Structure 1
Amino acid sequence: MVISIGFEGSANKLGIGIVNDGNVLSNCRRTYITPPGEGFLPRETAQHHRDKILDLLQEALDKAKVSPKQIDVVCYTKGPGMGGPLVSVAVVARTVAQLWNKPIVAVNHCIGHIEMGRVVTNSDNPTVLYVSGCNTQVIAYARNRYRIFGETIDIAVGNCLDRFARVLKLSNDPSPGYNIEQMAKDGKRFLPLPYVVKGMDVSFSGILSYIEEQANKLLDSKDYTPEDLCFSLQETVFAMLVETTERAMAHCGSQEVLLVGGVACNERLQEMMGEMCAERDAKLYATDERYCIDNGAMIAHAGALLYLSANATQWEDTTCTQRYRTDDVEVTWR
């Protein structure tokens, strides 16, 4: 058994979690929330993380009821993510590892989501749809790698939803995507939007540009409500994701789908994916916001798996990589 502590700060969520052999002892988080109509920038996000991280570290230790002496390994997010926030959290993780005289493990953020989803849901070998503010990938495991079967060729689905929320001046609390989801529930009229699936890949920038250009005109004419536009955008982009996921399932002969990442909390996406799985006699696995949204526990868990199977990261390799691909990691624990 290994007790690991994980530090996550690749975007606007700062998380520290402590995990003991797959059991979550604590999973504490702080979110940097900007005013309506604004996104979050690297410098300000990194400052938020620096301001909150020491208090969050103490909170995580207190909730887990463990002392630094009981921690076996320190894990942190190496990437992918925003440079400033990644580095600000990595510096603290490296410092803690030195102060506590513990080994350190650099973790791929995407792998953290996948392994946390697998342990929480008890899924075996699922086709994974990883959807968040910064990432959109359809993934399946093969020959010691998580292979990317399809992905966005421009912006992530979460980024598409978040940016449209800014057009409507929706609140960023708790998140713009969540507020779009709630508004979409009251949408009644569907606006046809571009549907861009290219083989196994998807594209969202054209959809976003189109609805951004049309939004004010449609709202001023009273032909569509903000709820209608949220509904139309969600239905279109989620249908694209269900299509590419089903294609990957057919290719791999898979009977399981695992949804991970912040957008995976969306109940409408879960419903649409569930309908597709039911038609294929397949199983859908999803988690709630505790583990879908970026968190420290997922980094602690994935780091522990890597530590037990391949040992700690060499000190000179404890850097950050903004574009750290899911398929760059050799999966030594499966």
Structure 2
Amino acid sequence: MEVAQKQQDKIISLGIEGSANKIGVGIVDQEGNIYANPRYTFITPPGTGFMPKETAEHHRLKVLTLIHQALEEAKMTLDKDITVISYTKGPGMAQPLSVGALVARTLSQLYKIPIIGVNHCIGHIEMGRVVTKSQNPTILYVSGGNTQVIAYSQNRYRIFGETLDIAVGNCLDRFARIIELSNDPSPGYNIEQMAKKGQNYIELPYVVKGMDVSFSGILTFIEDLVTGKKNSTTKKQQQEKQKIKVEDGLIAQTPLTYSKEDLCYSLQETLFSMLVETTERAMAHCNSNEVLLVGGVGCNVRLQEMMGIMTKERGGSVCAMDDRYCIDNGAMIAYAGLLEYQYTNRQSMPLSECTFTQRFRTDEVEVIWRND
């Protein structure tokens, strides 16, 4: 990976991530070597989501255990080995974010270690670049809280397109609640597995507006199909859906029956097609031949397949990761914080700036470690 100046002495960063329902601690060096990356996920009963207060309490109970575990795995100590402490400053849920910020500030003060607040989205991007060795890709960032098509230019990660309402991961999570899928290990993963069994595509709204996408209307439409609030289909669609064979596991509250498998399959295909379209348009604009998938939804195999078909037709490739690095983790925060620390001449953030915020856009960050 290209850097903006000569490599300095070995730097080791400990990162704390806790912006949503995962709390993780990672330890990395400036070469991208990951020494430890444990995490815990707050899992709620089927049909429910995670609330800020309960999620923050989960993080408070787990974070110190994770720090000890990470240091043991890395065979390191805070006072002798850690150069900088990095934490997620935002975006995310306020109460969970506050846990990581408080712990990071406390450790920084106790051990006299510099501290850096990291943009969560930048953490995903830089983790993706170092793990996949991707140089200058078009980036599709898809998670529970964010959906953005991004490309680098002039020391910023520029947003070419994004969701106009809810994130794609949030759409999937909320649909999983509607059909009461398990949240273990994650709603999106369980939708992905159920979609593999789907055989009949159900036509859903397809909402692409220029480079932006919208998911809330699709969610409302498919929720109505499940709950029977209204039947928005055409006569032709009704006739086609009435041919669907009635089997065990069908959702029978509607006048027309739809299997959970077909609904999951149709929702995935529609959402991912929208994402592939906008990503391809950004690739054409940037004359790029690589796509980097980051964020929790980025480890969905079907999304990787669909993006792979598109990039292959363009003579390009997809850079993707598995759930170790796509899903929120401490190592991505540690590495992004390390880069910022390294290229600001090793200066710690003032303690007064070590806050957290629910809103922190990707393009607000000056990417001082790149000059390509």
Q: TM-score, normalised by structure 2?
A: 0.89
Please say if residues 189 and 224 of structure 1, whose CA atoms lie closer than 8 Å, have aligned partners that are also in contact. Answer: no
1:127 aligns with 2:172: no
Aligned pairs (5 A) from 1:131-146 = 131-146=142-157
Deviations 1:250-297 (Å, cap 9, x if unpaired)?
011111100000000100000000000000001110000000000000
1:8 aligns with 2:17: yes
Aligned-pair RMSD on alpha carbons? 0.9
1:91 aligns with 2:125: no
Aligned pairs (5 A) from 1:195-274 = 195-217=206-228, 219-220=251-252, 221=255, 223-274=257-308
Structure 2 match to 1:30? 40
Select which of 339, 342, 345 maps to 1:305.
339
Specify the structure having the higher radius of gyration (Cα): 2
Structure 2 match to 1:59? 69
Q: Indicate how the Cα distance of structure 1 residues 222 and 214 shifts in structure 2: closer, same or farther if over 3 A, else same.
A: closer
Unmatched 5+ residue regions in structure 2? 1-9, 229-240, 242-250
SS at match of 1:215: helix
Structure 1 match to 2:55? 45
Please say if residues 10 and 82 of structure 1, whose CA atoms lie closer than 8 Å, have aligned partners that are also in contact. Answer: yes
Structure 2 match to 1:105? 116
Q: CA deviation at 1:20?
A: 1.6
Structure 2 match to 1:319? 355
The one-letter code matched in structure 2 to 1:60 is A
Please say if residues 27 and 296 of structure 1, whose CA atoms lie closer than 8 Å, have aligned partners that are also in contact. Answer: yes
Between the aligned partners of 2:197 and 2:181, the Cα distance in structure 1 is: 15
Q: CA deviation at 1:312?
A: 2.4
Between the aligned partners of 2:357 and 2:349, the Cα distance in structure 1 is: 14
The one-letter code matched in structure 2 to 1:52 is K
Deviations 1:94-135 (Å, cap 9, x if unpaired)?
101111110000100000000000000000000000000000
Structure 2 match to 1:116? 127
Between the aligned partners of 1:332 and 1:31, the Cα distance in structure 2 is: 32
Between the aligned partners of 1:256 and 1:134, the Cα distance in structure 2 is: 24
User: Would you identify which runs of 4 or more consecutive aligned residues in structure 1 move more than 4 Å?
Assistant: none
Q: Give the structure with the higher percent helix.
A: 1
Please say if residues 110 and 326 of structure 1, whose CA atoms lie closer than 8 Å, have aligned partners that are also in contact. Answer: yes
SS at match of 1:331: coil
Identity %: 66
Q: CA deviation at 1:223?
A: 3.6
Q: TM-score, normalised by structure 1?
A: 0.99
Q: CA deviation at 1:222?
A: 6.2
Between the aligned partners of 1:96 and 1:312, the Cα distance in structure 2 is: 13
Deviations 1:185-230 (Å, cap 9, x if unpaired)?
0000110000000000000000000000111348215642100000
SS at match of 1:141: strand
Between the aligned partners of 1:42 and 1:239, the Cα distance in structure 2 is: 32
Bigger Cα displacement from structure 2, 153-162 vs 211-220:
211-220
Unmatched 5+ residue regions in structure 1? none
SS at match of 1:300: helix
1:19 aligns with 2:14: no
The one-letter code matched in structure 1 to 2:50 is F
